[in-house]
Amino acid sequence: MAARGRTDGLIHSPIGAAFGLLAAHTPRRPLLNLSQAAPSFPPPAIVADRVAEVAREPDGARYVPQQGLPALREALAAELTADHRTGVGAHEVLITAGCNQAFCVVSSALTQVGDNVIVAVPFYFNHDMWLNVEGVERRYLETGTDLLPNIADAAELIDPRTRAIVLVSPGNPSGATLPAELLEDFFDLCQAHNLHLILDETYRSFRGTDAPSHALYERPNWQKHLVTLHSFSKDLAIPGYRVGAAVGGPSLLIEAMKIVDCIAICAPRIGQEAAVAGLKSAGEWRRTQAKRIENLHDHFRASMRARPGGYELVSSGAYFGWVRHPYADTQTLDVVASLLHDRDVLVIPGTAFTPDDRAMLRFSFANLSSDEIGELVSRLAQD
């Protein structure tokens, strides 16, 4: 009998769908895989060495304190304090099994069935999926041609059942970085309506600048209205070790930990130990990788200016290009299948990130080399 739970009717992961297309495909030339935004390079040696050490230690496979290893919480708090030039404490950090879990446990701690959450479009698909599963109404906040959400539009969506506003910066899938001043305005809006601003900063290190992403931690009451989400997957090339974090008020984190306890008990020790090593000793490696991806972005953006094959780069940054395909009368899923079949290019349909089909595609250009970006443009332009 078919399942009739909360997932009934929910879309499948677009990453899984992309891999399904790939499994049935026989490429005629080297595949250009722009689907999953996962680092295609190994972690720094000091991280890999620490993983090997932990695997042999007596406590290497045991549980850790539910809020996370103290050393990792302290290291992340210290980094955020240094980057933002203000104090974040280890007691304000919850370590989770990846940033997706951070969003899930925080949003569930803030909402009940029938509540609503404002989500900027294009949204990150797992955020939308989780709210759907939890019976939380998603109120879509449309963005302009610059992919920036508007405060006045957000204010119109708020009602007594609204619990939070979700923003991602840099955006996934758009790559757009939200200006610090705009984030200040959204914090003020949340404070005025007693809401939480959930700010996903998975790609914070890939903004092309060392300037603080915002000044919100300087607010004396930030813990009452802000929770930021973080990932070590991209920074340290350890996506499979599943380690992320939520930074917010201790009272919210306590509620979120109740859900962590039901789902995973705690984030895996080995991933946390890897992240500690990376935060403490791989700073130069991280900066080098961020600069390399920034250079790839510059090359990708310049290469797409000519709109090869009619494909228009609408927005880009961090790992992503948000691209409008030229086939307005064709379903985007069919365009994705055609790109794979005819050009050996695998991308994610924009329909995973929007409430309807807007002829958009997500290109994870950071998966490619500079030469492969040139090859991508050539294949897009082919007849």
Q: Give per-residue pLDDT as tens, 85-99.
A: 888 999 999 999 999
Counting the structural domains of the chain, the total is 2
**Is residue 1 scored above 60 in pLDDT?**
no
Tokens of 21: 């297309």
Closest CA to 290 of 110, 146, 127, 170: 170
Judge if 260 and 290 occupy the same domain: no
Q: CB within 8 A of 79, min separation 6: which ones?
A: 279
Which residue range forms the structural domain that includes residue 358? 14-42+285-381
- Is residue 9 in a domain? no
Long-range contacts, stretch 218-226, CB < 8 angstroms, 24+ apart: 218/84, 218/86, 219/187, 221/191, 222/187, 223/92, 223/248, 223/249, 223/250, 223/252, 224/191, 224/249, 225/187, 225/190, 225/191, 225/194, 225/195, 225/196, 225/197, 226/187, 226/190, 226/196, 226/197, 226/199
Q: Which of 237, 258, 281 is the last residue of a domain?
A: 281
Judge if 93 and 239 occupy the same domain: yes
- The Cα–Cα gap between 211 and 85 comes to 10
**Is residue 3 scored above 70 in pLDDT?**
no
At 102 the pLDDT is 97
CATH number assigned to the domain comprising residue 161: 3.40.640.10
Closest CA to 108 of 278, 292, 263: 263
At 11 the pLDDT is 67
**Is residue 48 scored above 80 in pLDDT?**
yes
Q: Give mean pLDDT, residues 115-141.
A: 96
Reported residue count of the chain is 383
Q: Compute how many other C-beta atoms are within 10 angstroms of the C-beta atom of residue 144.
A: 9
Q: Which of 211, 246, 281 is the last residue of a domain?
A: 281
pTM over 0.85: yes
Judge if 120 and 264 occupy the same domain: yes
- The Cα–Cα gap between 201 and 169 comes to 6
8 A C-beta contact, residue 31 and residue 346: yes
Helix 332-343 and helix 14-23, axial crossing angle in degrees, nearest 10: 40
C-alpha angle 214/218/222, rounded to 5°?
Answer: 90
Judge if 160 and 289 occupy the same domain: no
Q: CB within 8 A of 191, min separation 6: which ones?
A: 221, 224, 225
Judge if 26 and 156 occupy the same domain: no
At 183 the pLDDT is 97
- The Cα–Cα gap between 260 and 102 comes to 9
Question: Measured in Å, how far apart are the chain's first and last C-alpha atoms?
Answer: 47
**Is residue 368 scored above 90 in pLDDT?**
yes
SS3 labels along 212-233: CCCCHHHCCCHHHHEEEEEECH
8 A C-beta contact, residue 319 and residue 328: no
Q: Give mean pLDDT, residues 291-317.
A: 96
Q: What is the pLDDT of residues 339-367, one digit of tens each?
A: 999 999 999 999 999 999 999 999 999 98
pLDDT tier at 370, thresholds 50, 70, 90? very high
Q: CB within 8 A of 271, min separation 6: which ones?
A: 97, 232, 238, 241, 242, 243
The residue with greater pLDDT, 38 or 115, is 115
Judge if 166 and 214 occupy the same domain: yes
Judge if 104 and 213 occupy the same domain: yes
**Is residue 222 scored above 80 in pLDDT?**
yes
Most confident of 58-62, 244-248, 268-272: 244-248
At 23 the pLDDT is 75
Judge if 81 and 187 occupy the same domain: yes
Least confident interval from 50-64, 91-105, 130-144, 287-301 = 50-64
Closest CA to 194 of 219, 147, 161: 161
Q: Give mean pLDDT, residues 52-60.
A: 89
At 18 the pLDDT is 72
8 A C-beta contact, residue 336 and residue 347: yes
Q: What is the pLDDT of residues 178-189, one digit of tens each?
A: 999 999 999 999
Judge if 216 and 340 occupy the same domain: no
At 41 the pLDDT is 84
Q: Give start and end residues of each alpha helix (H) in the chain.
A: 14-23, 45-56, 70-84, 99-110, 125-133, 151-157, 180-192, 222-225, 233-236, 250-263, 269-281, 283-303, 332-343, 370-381
At 8 the pLDDT is 72
- Is residue 7 in a domain? no
Q: Which of 251, 281, 311 is the last residue of a domain?
A: 281
- Is residue 1 in a domain? no
Q: Give mean pLDDT, residues 1-15.
A: 68
Average pLDDT over the chain reads: 93
Strand order in the sheet with 360-363: 312-317, 320-324, 360-363, 348-349
Judge if 236 and 90 occupy the same domain: yes
**Is residue 267 scored above 90 in pLDDT?**
yes
Q: Give mean pLDDT, residues 38-58.
A: 90
